[in-house]
Structure 1
Amino acid sequence: LVSFCLVIYYQNNKSLAAGMLTVLMNRVGDCFILGGICMMIILGHWNMLCLWEFDSFIFVNLFIMVAGMTKSAQIPFGSWLPAAMAAPTPVSALVHSSTLVTAGVFLFIRFFYYLNTYYWFSVFMMYISIMTTIMSGICALYECDMKKIIALSTLSQLGVMMMSLSLGMPMLALFHLYTHAMFKALLFI
């Protein structure tokens, strides 16, 4: 609700459409996070160290992956990030540096050692991250609005962070996350 109110600050139809897109895409991620939590409750435990012992946790894995992809605006869900640039500039700084887009990457970093036990995780995330990086780079070439270009550069950097995760380097992804957040926050000051 807060992100919706911030994006529709200018109160016109374009801001309303951007706010609706942003809030609905992020609610998809929220639903999948809650679905993963409900699956853990149904299966009977919250112990992160024992997640590998159950075969039925493949659904928890899928829920975590979709939630992380929506929160970090990866390729099927990447349309909300440039649309969120309808917000005023300080709000854009918060969106791009430390709040919405970094939640998905941090979720993947947090669950990396669990997700990496599945053989298809690395390959799938490599394809998704490469497609996200290429798509955002090509879209940035044809964009005229400077704030959207900055949003698309953020999207390509998120793809690079996900690529380092798919290569098995979560600490590199975390370092990239920190440096990118500081750079983007300073860019909007």
Structure 2
Amino acid sequence: LLLIGCMTMFMAGLGANFEFDLSSIIALSTLSQLGLMMSILSMGYNILAFFHLLTHALFSALLFMCAGSMIHNLKDSQDIRFMGSIVNFMPLTSVCFNVSSLSLCGMPFLAGFYSKDLILEVVCLSWINFLIFFLYFISTGLTASYSFRLFYYSMMGDNNFYPSYFFNDKSYFISFGMVCLLFVSVFGGGFLSWL
């Protein structure tokens, strides 16, 4: 189970680095995190796996909500090659999307840091072979790689969508939900670590 979880984590991260569909990248990131949870569960750390499940749910909900808002505003286009300079048109969605993506990477003091750093610390202190050890750290690097690739394609560069189309953060209900989930993604990991 440990090897299957690590290979799932590695292959999902590798596949997400070569994908151009926004929802597929986020789905593969969730699959990668599920592989991480299953692999740490197979090592006997069930509370740590549940802790990562909870922290992953916090920032993953925000990530899916931001992606849905971006896809809705781009007339259901999910190709990230069309999503240049979204930060100029949808600043709130861009901030929330980048914070949740950084939390997925394990940026210090965001929600994903508290569980992912603890998992990597447990892996470093466990008696496991080098294959599993390297799969954990390469998969973590692949997570950072596809997260920054997603940031580059969607936030930087020129807008490659229809030049006459204007899109913005027009839904107040989605914006309110994103702001609430943003605070949970920033502070939720610290609160959960006290439990």
Q: TM-score range by the shorter chain?
A: 0.3 to 0.5
The TM-score with structure 2 as length reference comes to 0.46
Q: Greater relative contact order: 1 or 2 (C-alpha under 8 angstroms, separation 6 or more)?
A: 2
Relative to total residues, which structure has the larger helix share, 1 or 2?
1
